Amino acid sequence: MAETKKNGSVIGSERIAVMTALNIANEMLEHKKENQDYNFKIDSTLSRLQSKINDALDIKNQLDYG
């Protein structure tokens, strides 16, 4: 709250508290989006790896029973 008071022209404890809460909520939303993007990248990578493993197993089965 001290940072909010120092950085802006907000006057009054209630207004400072509200501005601080809004800043915290905004930061949390930004981190949530970053985390979702990271999870999407991991899911995509795992899907590609799973596909490659399945393809390799299919080729091996074709060679074994071909």
- Kindly list the distances between the CA atom of residue 37 and the CA atoms of 18, 26, 31, 51, in Å, as whole numbers in the listed order: 29, 17, 10, 21
Q: Containing domain of residue 13, as a range?
A: 2-65
What CA–CA distance (Å, rounded) separates 60 from 3? Answer: 63
Number of domains making up the chain? 1
Q: Which amino acid is at 5?
A: K
CA distances from 43 to 31, 38, 48, 53 (A): 18, 9, 9, 15
Name residues of the chain where pLDDT drops below 70.
1-11, 66
